[in-house]
Amino acid sequence: MNNGETRRVAVVGANRIPFARSNTAYFELSNMTMLTDTLRGLVQKYNLQGLLLGEVVGGAVMKHSRDWNLVRESVLSSGLHPNTPAYDVQQACGTGLEAAILVANKIALGQIEVGIACGTDTTSDAPIAASRGMQRGLMAVNAARTRSDKLRAGLSLLNPSHLMPELPARGEPRTGKSMGEHAQITAHRFGITRFAQDEIALASHLNLAKAYEAGFFEDLVMPYHGLTRDNNLRPDASAEGMARLKPAFERGTGTITAANASTFTDGASAVLLASEEWAKKQGLPILAYLTAGEVAAVDFVDEREGLLMAGAYAVPRMLAKRKLALQDFDFYEIHEAFAAVVLCTMAAWESPAFCKDKLGLDAPLGSIDRAKLNVKGSSIATGHPFAATGARIVATLAKIIDEAGGGRGLISICAAGGQGVTAILEK
């Protein structure tokens, strides 16, 4: 469906609200409210009022039934032309980056000129469902035709067991284990120490704090509901303080703690993508180009593969297609769902056995320069509103590249269900 030669896709700009720890500043807000306000901020920032865009793509992981057409409804209240198409996607924590890849592909193929990738999530407003018994009873009442039938169906609702709600699941459906439990198993397998994880976590907080103090986020993050920066940020974090925390998922020998893992977070983000021609016509800057994307999945059920290790597979595929080495990057953005995942991913690329047995390579991919990793902080410090993380990372990396006067950046995001979404930005 190519309407012409493949075109370069520009990252033009972005907007997000400060991310907030669950049950704090955004406790009363919904996905719809946060996403609509974030899109409205993007529209105002880049003078998009009334413009008809090619499409807006995004989503949320924690969705109520009322959110079934979330992105389209947000677009209708954003200030964009109401004829702008929009649709929802959901790929767990990879949602925002997958949305960016989808928009970028249509721009590259000449199908659209400009689009927005976005995402939102709130664990403060997580959906709590009626029990199966209550749900079936209410449906029976609704379907009953006579008053006596409705009364008979309604009496079934008096069963006390039906009054217990179904709380959001915290584990993978196929294993019953939480993400943290899976990450802990993988950390043991790769021999990742508690000290190494705390180092990653501390760097995340210190790098994010330094970036805020330098004004890096002034044109990326808009003030919102009393916040001007992510309220999970701990600029006074210390290695000593982190070392005092107890393991979160395994007593005694566990190495993952509340300090070296991302927290439940509320927030929303959006990134504006366009063809070069459209950006220049609008007089907008080109921060970087989104030049590649790759998605992978692993079978994690029997623990032969780590739940959050698919990025270790997706990146080598992407590098091979672009004829690049792992070291051919100036910046690396590896999503900090857990510090352990970052370290396990890098350990896999450094491992001759993993690269030979799992990736079919003759030699390991090798190591990366840690000074180039998550240089403005990442999910441990910012927080991690699942579907919003991808656009946050794309925006941050694009601005890093622009401020550096050019370069190449690698993104890797792990996701539930044993998936990973990766991309390359460059200029």
**Residues annotated as catalytic (active site), given as ranges:** 93, 384, 414
CA Rg value for the chain = 22
Residues 6+ apart with CB under 8 A from 141: 150, 153, 154, 157
- Helices vs strands, H then E, count in the chain: 14, 10
**Torsions phi, psi of 169, nearest 5?**
-70, 140
* Helical (H) or strand (E) element with 210: helix 194-213
Taking the C-alpha atoms of residue 103 and residue 126, their distance in angstroms, rounded to an integer, is 28
Q: What are phi and psi of 342, to 5 degrees?
A: -60, -50
DSSP letter for 270, please. Answer: E
| Cβ count near 46 (within 10 Å) | 19
CA distance 308 to 383: 17
Query: With contact defined as beta carbons under 8 Å apart, do 275 and 12 qualify?
Result: no
In angstroms, the Cα distances linking 222 to 56, 104, 225, 331, 356 are 20, 25, 10, 25, 46
Question: Which residue shows structure tokens 């995402």?
Answer: 119
Residue 398, φ and ψ in degrees, nearest 5: -60, -40
Q: For residue 402, with 0-12 CB atoms within 10 Å meaning exposed, 13-18 middle and 19 or more buried, which class applies?
A: middle
Question: Quick one: 105 exposed, middle or buried, by C-beta within 10 A (0-12, 13-18, 19+)?
Answer: middle
- Helix or strand holding residue 149 (H, E): helix 147-155
Distance CA 7, CA 106 (A): 10
How many angstroms separate the Cα of 381 from the Cα of each of 70, 232, 288? 27, 6, 24
